[in-house]
Amino acid sequence: MKVPKRLQPLVDDGLVDEILSQLMSGKEAQVYVVRCGAAIRCAKVYKEANQRSFRQAVQYQEGRKVKNSRRARAMGKRTRYGQKESEEAWLNAEVDALYRLATAGVRVPTPFGFVDGVLLMELVTDVDGNAAPRLNDVTLTSAQAVEYHSRIIAEIVRMLCAGLVHGDLSPFNVLVDQQGPVIIDLPQAVNAAGNNSAGMMLERDVDNMALYFGRYAPALLKTDYGKEIWALYVSGKLQPDTPLTGRFERPTAEADVATVMRVIEHAREQEVERRQREVAAREAE
């Protein structure tokens, strides 16, 4: 097939020998099946920022580390340079997440490199060597649903122990190969310790999985793994092999309104001070 424009530099440099087919086109990227020497891999070609329907929401960017302080300031001010740096950080997020999670033993596609907005990685295949189907396209028995749900929960725990929350996990972001579920699509993965929305996102990921597998095994709809996992994480008790029950005992004590209001007021004062420091820093430049 004709070489897409964004893939031409990789062909010219010998990183890709042949474009075999287009695998899918999504909200953030197009994915192609490519030949790299004797290996068949996939190339994820990220769309330009103005062509993506999945925006770089501040909610997802919070807590992502930027080594260079000048870059961090520019990203915060959203200057032209800052927007360019934010785009680069967004594109690198999935690469960084894949390497970190693969090291932690999470079932994700093996990454092979990232060049000019193109991510080369393992092509996840089924038993016949064809591209593996998405979980959403697979029909399960009740027993399979329970088993796959258990595996996904274990992967979510391993991800969290590695410091990340997927943030957009759904049946469309899980492939099924001959060994079971493989988690994909991680550019929006968030820093669990540095993002104030991480707990909410983790619970949403877990709930999405329960709703899907609950179609085949309704008992899963009554589980509450998300809150249980997050509570164990924030208390420092979560390990990859921590036994889970799927239940969570919610506090029954009445809320201390006065304490909550003091915390809110303290946070407001800190925000005012932060903005004042930013103004002073800009004036000093």
Catalytic residues: 168, 185
- Rounded to an integer, what distance in angstroms lies between the CA atom of residue 144 and that of residue 124? 20
- Rounded to an integer, what distance in angstroms lies between the CA atom of residue 31 and that of residue 154? 27
Question: Which two structure tokens, joined as six digits, stand for 2?
Answer: 């004709």
Q: 186 Cβ partners below 8 Å, 6+ apart?
A: 93, 94, 97, 98, 101, 108, 164, 166
218: alpha, beta or left? (left if phi > 0; alpha if psi -120 to 50): alpha
- Rounded to an integer, what distance in angstroms lies between the CA atom of residue 171 and that of residue 173? 5
Closest by alpha carbon to 118, among 30, 25, 229, 222? 30
Question: Which two structure tokens, joined as six digits, stand for 124?
Answer: 């996840």
Question: Which two structure tokens, joined as six digits, stand for 233?
Answer: 């994480």
Q: Give CA 232 to chain center in angstroms.
A: 21
